[in-house]
Protein backbone atom coordinates (compact mmCIF):
# COMPACT_ATOMS: atom_id res chain seq x y z
CA UNK A 1 0.00 0.00 0.00
CA UNK A 2 2.69 2.64 0.81
CA UNK A 3 4.26 2.13 -2.62
CA UNK A 4 0.90 2.54 -4.36
CA UNK A 5 0.17 5.76 -2.49
CA UNK A 6 3.58 7.18 -3.34
CA UNK A 7 3.16 6.41 -7.03
CA UNK A 8 -0.31 7.96 -6.99
CA UNK A 9 0.97 11.15 -5.39
CA UNK A 10 3.86 11.41 -7.82
CA UNK A 11 1.55 10.92 -10.76
CA UNK A 12 -0.84 13.61 -9.52
CA UNK A 13 2.04 15.98 -8.91
CA UNK A 14 3.48 15.40 -12.36
CA UNK A 15 0.11 16.02 -14.01
CA UNK A 16 -0.30 19.42 -12.40
CA UNK A 17 0.58 22.29 -14.78
CA UNK A 18 3.49 24.53 -14.01
CA UNK A 19 2.56 27.97 -12.63
CA UNK A 20 2.32 30.97 -14.91
CA UNK A 21 5.67 32.38 -15.90
CA UNK A 22 4.49 34.98 -18.44
CA UNK A 23 5.10 38.55 -17.35
CA UNK A 24 2.31 41.09 -17.52
CA UNK A 25 2.46 43.17 -20.70
CA UNK A 26 0.35 45.78 -22.44
CA UNK A 27 -2.11 44.28 -24.96
CA UNK A 28 -0.89 44.42 -28.57
CA UNK A 29 -2.44 47.15 -30.70
CA UNK A 30 -4.33 44.67 -32.85
CA UNK A 31 -5.89 42.89 -29.84
CA UNK A 32 -9.68 43.29 -29.86
CA UNK A 33 -11.30 41.81 -26.75
CA UNK A 34 -14.77 42.63 -28.09
CA UNK A 35 -14.22 40.96 -31.45
CA UNK A 36 -17.49 39.12 -32.29
CA UNK A 37 -15.57 35.89 -32.91
CA UNK A 38 -14.02 36.04 -29.44
CA UNK A 39 -17.40 36.77 -27.84
CA UNK A 40 -18.99 33.87 -29.72
CA UNK A 41 -16.17 31.56 -28.63
CA UNK A 42 -16.60 32.73 -25.05
CA UNK A 43 -20.35 32.09 -25.12
CA UNK A 44 -19.93 28.67 -26.71
CA UNK A 45 -17.45 27.60 -24.04
CA UNK A 46 -19.72 28.83 -21.25
CA UNK A 47 -22.64 26.95 -22.82
CA UNK A 48 -20.58 23.77 -22.91
CA UNK A 49 -19.43 24.16 -19.31
CA UNK A 50 -22.80 25.25 -17.91
CA UNK A 51 -25.47 24.04 -20.34
CA UNK A 52 -28.50 24.56 -18.10
CA UNK A 53 -27.66 27.33 -15.61
CA UNK A 54 -30.22 28.09 -12.91
CA UNK A 55 -30.52 30.65 -10.18
CA UNK A 56 -28.88 29.30 -7.03
CA UNK A 57 -31.42 30.94 -4.72
CA UNK A 58 -34.09 28.49 -3.58
CA UNK A 59 -37.59 29.78 -4.35
CA UNK A 60 -41.07 28.59 -5.29
CA UNK A 61 -42.55 31.78 -6.69
CA UNK A 62 -41.71 35.33 -7.74
CA UNK A 63 -42.22 36.75 -4.25
CA UNK A 64 -39.84 34.28 -2.62
CA UNK A 65 -37.24 35.01 -5.28
CA UNK A 66 -37.62 38.75 -4.68
CA UNK A 67 -37.09 38.34 -0.94
CA UNK A 68 -34.20 35.92 -1.40
CA UNK A 69 -32.45 38.29 -3.81
CA UNK A 70 -32.85 41.21 -1.41
CA UNK A 71 -31.30 39.04 1.30
CA UNK A 72 -28.42 38.00 -0.98
CA UNK A 73 -26.84 41.47 -0.94
CA UNK A 74 -23.41 41.13 0.72
CA UNK A 75 -24.29 37.53 1.59
CA UNK A 76 -23.76 34.12 0.04
CA UNK A 77 -26.60 32.25 -1.63
CA UNK A 78 -25.85 29.28 0.62
CA UNK A 79 -26.54 31.38 3.72
CA UNK A 80 -29.71 32.85 2.20
CA UNK A 81 -30.99 29.36 1.40
CA UNK A 82 -30.48 28.41 5.04
CA UNK A 83 -32.55 31.37 6.22
CA UNK A 84 -35.48 31.56 3.81
CA UNK A 85 -37.24 28.22 4.54
CA UNK A 86 -38.00 29.25 8.12
CA UNK A 87 -38.83 32.82 7.10
CA UNK A 88 -41.33 31.67 4.46
CA UNK A 89 -42.80 29.10 6.83
CA UNK A 90 -43.65 31.92 9.23
CA UNK A 91 -44.68 34.41 6.54
CA UNK A 92 -45.72 32.55 3.37
CA UNK A 93 -47.12 35.49 1.41
CA UNK A 94 -46.57 39.22 0.88
CA UNK A 95 -49.76 39.81 2.88
CA UNK A 96 -48.25 38.05 5.90
CA UNK A 97 -45.11 40.19 5.82
CA UNK A 98 -47.02 43.39 5.11
CA UNK A 99 -48.81 43.07 8.45
CA UNK A 100 -45.69 42.92 10.63
CA UNK A 101 -43.19 45.51 11.78
CA UNK A 102 -39.67 45.14 10.31
CA UNK A 103 -38.20 44.55 13.76
CA UNK A 104 -40.18 41.34 14.07
CA UNK A 105 -38.32 39.58 11.26
CA UNK A 106 -34.84 40.81 12.17
CA UNK A 107 -33.99 37.67 14.22
CA UNK A 108 -35.00 35.48 11.26
CA UNK A 109 -32.60 37.16 8.83
CA UNK A 110 -29.86 38.34 11.18
CA UNK A 111 -27.20 35.95 9.80
CA UNK A 112 -27.49 37.40 6.28
CA UNK A 113 -25.94 40.69 7.44
CA UNK A 114 -27.35 44.24 7.27
CA UNK A 115 -30.48 42.68 8.73
CA UNK A 116 -32.07 45.96 9.86
CA UNK A 117 -32.01 47.50 6.41
CA UNK A 118 -33.03 44.23 4.80
CA UNK A 119 -35.98 43.78 7.16
CA UNK A 120 -37.23 47.28 6.30
CA UNK A 121 -36.82 46.56 2.59
CA UNK A 122 -38.65 43.23 2.74
CA UNK A 123 -41.59 44.53 4.75
CA UNK A 124 -41.68 47.69 2.63
CA UNK A 125 -41.69 45.62 -0.57
CA UNK A 126 -44.48 43.42 0.79
CA UNK A 127 -46.61 46.46 1.61
CA UNK A 128 -45.99 47.96 -1.82
CA UNK A 129 -46.90 44.68 -3.56
CA UNK A 130 -50.14 44.55 -1.57
CA UNK A 131 -51.12 48.21 -1.98
CA UNK A 132 -50.09 48.80 -5.59
CA UNK A 133 -49.99 45.40 -7.29
CA UNK A 134 -52.86 43.42 -5.73
CA UNK A 135 -50.51 41.04 -3.94
CA UNK A 136 -48.56 39.98 -7.04
CA UNK A 137 -44.95 40.76 -7.88
CA UNK A 138 -44.97 43.07 -10.93
CA UNK A 139 -43.50 41.86 -14.21
CA UNK A 140 -41.86 45.02 -15.55
CA UNK A 141 -38.56 46.67 -14.72
CA UNK A 142 -40.11 50.06 -13.99
CA UNK A 143 -42.67 48.60 -11.59
CA UNK A 144 -40.18 46.35 -9.82
CA UNK A 145 -37.90 49.30 -9.21
CA UNK A 146 -40.65 50.96 -7.16
CA UNK A 147 -40.36 48.20 -4.53
CA UNK A 148 -38.19 49.09 -1.52
CA UNK A 149 -34.87 47.23 -1.61
CA UNK A 150 -35.16 46.39 -5.31
CA UNK A 151 -32.52 47.79 -7.67
CA UNK A 152 -31.68 46.64 -11.20
CA UNK A 153 -29.80 43.54 -10.08
CA UNK A 154 -32.75 42.21 -8.07
CA UNK A 155 -35.22 43.20 -10.77
CA UNK A 156 -33.15 41.44 -13.45
CA UNK A 157 -32.95 38.29 -11.31
CA UNK A 158 -36.72 38.18 -10.83
CA UNK A 159 -37.55 39.06 -14.44
CA UNK A 160 -35.05 36.60 -15.89
CA UNK A 161 -35.20 33.65 -13.52
CA UNK A 162 -38.95 33.65 -12.80
CA UNK A 163 -40.68 35.45 -15.65
CA UNK A 164 -38.17 34.51 -18.36
CA UNK A 165 -37.84 38.10 -19.52
CA UNK A 166 -34.44 39.24 -20.77
CA UNK A 167 -34.66 42.92 -19.88
CA UNK A 168 -31.07 43.32 -18.71
CA UNK A 169 -28.03 41.46 -17.43
CA UNK A 170 -27.62 40.58 -13.76
CA UNK A 171 -24.40 42.15 -12.47
CA UNK A 172 -23.45 40.70 -9.10
CA UNK A 173 -19.95 40.47 -7.63
CA UNK A 174 -19.06 37.47 -9.83
CA UNK A 175 -20.24 39.07 -13.07
CA UNK A 176 -18.46 42.30 -12.09
CA UNK A 177 -15.17 40.50 -11.46
CA UNK A 178 -15.22 38.08 -14.39
CA UNK A 179 -16.35 40.53 -17.04
CA UNK A 180 -13.44 42.82 -16.12
CA UNK A 181 -10.98 39.93 -16.02
CA UNK A 182 -12.14 38.88 -19.47
CA UNK A 183 -11.79 42.46 -20.74
CA UNK A 184 -15.35 42.65 -22.03
CA UNK A 185 -15.87 45.81 -19.98
CA UNK A 186 -13.66 48.48 -18.48
CA UNK A 187 -16.44 49.99 -16.39
CA UNK A 188 -16.11 49.97 -12.64
CA UNK A 189 -19.74 50.13 -11.53
CA UNK A 190 -22.63 47.66 -12.05
CA UNK A 191 -24.83 50.05 -14.05
CA UNK A 192 -22.19 50.76 -16.69
CA UNK A 193 -21.00 47.15 -16.75
CA UNK A 194 -24.56 46.04 -17.49
CA UNK A 195 -24.83 48.53 -20.33
CA UNK A 196 -21.52 47.32 -21.79
CA UNK A 197 -22.57 43.67 -21.61
CA UNK A 198 -25.95 44.36 -23.18
CA UNK A 199 -24.16 45.79 -26.23
CA UNK A 200 -22.01 42.73 -26.93
CA UNK A 201 -24.07 39.77 -25.64
CA UNK A 202 -27.12 38.78 -27.75
CA UNK A 203 -30.33 39.50 -25.85
CA UNK A 204 -31.46 35.89 -25.99
CA UNK A 205 -28.29 35.03 -24.04
CA UNK A 206 -28.60 37.67 -21.32
CA UNK A 207 -30.29 35.43 -18.73
CA UNK A 208 -28.07 32.38 -19.18
CA UNK A 209 -24.89 34.43 -19.58
CA UNK A 210 -25.17 36.05 -16.15
CA UNK A 211 -25.96 32.71 -14.48
CA UNK A 212 -23.04 31.07 -16.28
CA UNK A 213 -20.59 33.72 -15.13
CA UNK A 214 -21.95 33.44 -11.59
CA UNK A 215 -21.48 29.67 -11.55
CA UNK A 216 -18.05 30.00 -13.13
CA UNK A 217 -17.06 32.48 -10.44
CA UNK A 218 -18.21 30.09 -7.73
CA UNK A 219 -16.59 26.97 -9.15
CA UNK A 220 -13.35 28.08 -10.85
CA UNK A 221 -12.72 31.82 -11.24
CA UNK A 222 -12.40 32.65 -7.56
CA UNK A 223 -11.74 36.17 -6.32
CA UNK A 224 -8.46 34.97 -4.84
CA UNK A 225 -6.29 32.38 -6.55
CA UNK A 226 -8.56 31.48 -9.48
CA UNK A 227 -8.17 27.90 -10.67
CA UNK A 228 -6.88 28.89 -14.11
CA UNK A 229 -5.41 25.46 -14.86
CA UNK A 230 -8.92 23.99 -14.90
CA UNK A 231 -10.64 26.89 -16.65
CA UNK A 232 -12.36 26.27 -20.02
CA UNK A 233 -11.82 29.95 -20.85
CA UNK A 234 -8.12 29.95 -19.97
CA UNK A 235 -6.61 30.82 -23.35
CA UNK A 236 -9.23 33.53 -23.91
CA UNK A 237 -8.30 35.19 -20.64
CA UNK A 238 -5.36 37.53 -20.11
CA UNK A 239 -6.24 38.57 -16.56
CA UNK A 240 -3.46 40.20 -14.54
CA UNK A 241 -4.16 37.99 -11.52
CA UNK A 242 -4.13 34.61 -13.29
CA UNK A 243 -2.44 31.80 -11.38
CA UNK A 244 -1.46 29.88 -14.53
CA UNK A 245 -1.43 30.95 -18.15
CA UNK A 246 -0.73 29.78 -21.70
CA UNK A 247 -1.25 33.29 -23.10
CA UNK A 248 0.28 36.71 -22.38
CA UNK A 249 -1.05 38.44 -19.28
CA UNK A 250 -2.35 41.99 -19.72
CA UNK A 251 -1.65 44.60 -17.05
CA UNK A 252 -5.02 46.25 -17.50
CA UNK A 253 -7.10 43.06 -17.32
CA UNK A 254 -8.01 43.09 -13.66
CA UNK A 255 -11.15 42.97 -11.51
Positions annotated as catalytic residues are 153, 172
| Cα–Cα dist 119/116, whole Å | 5
> CA 76: distance to chain centroid?
10
Cβ-count burial of 134 within 10 angstroms (0-12 exposed, 13-18 middle, 19+ buried)? Answer: exposed
Do the beta carbons of residue 145 and residue 155 sit within 8 Å?
yes
Residues whose CB is less than 8 angstroms from the CB of residue 69 and which lie 6 or more positions away in sequence, other chains included: 57, 153, 154, 157, 158
Do the beta carbons of residue 158 and residue 145 sit within 8 Å?
no
Helix (H, G, I), strand (E, B) or coil at 234: helix
C-alpha dihedral, 226 to 230 to 231 to 235, nearest 10°: 110
Do the beta carbons of residue 28 and residue 190 sit within 8 Å?
no
Amino acid sequence: MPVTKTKSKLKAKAAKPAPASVKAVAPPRDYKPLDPKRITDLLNRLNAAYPDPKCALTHRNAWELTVATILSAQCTDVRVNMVTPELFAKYPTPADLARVQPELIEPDIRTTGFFRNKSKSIVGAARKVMSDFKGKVPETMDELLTLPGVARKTANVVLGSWFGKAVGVVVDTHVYRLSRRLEITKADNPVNIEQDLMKIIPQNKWIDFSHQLIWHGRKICFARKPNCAECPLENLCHAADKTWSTVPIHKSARP
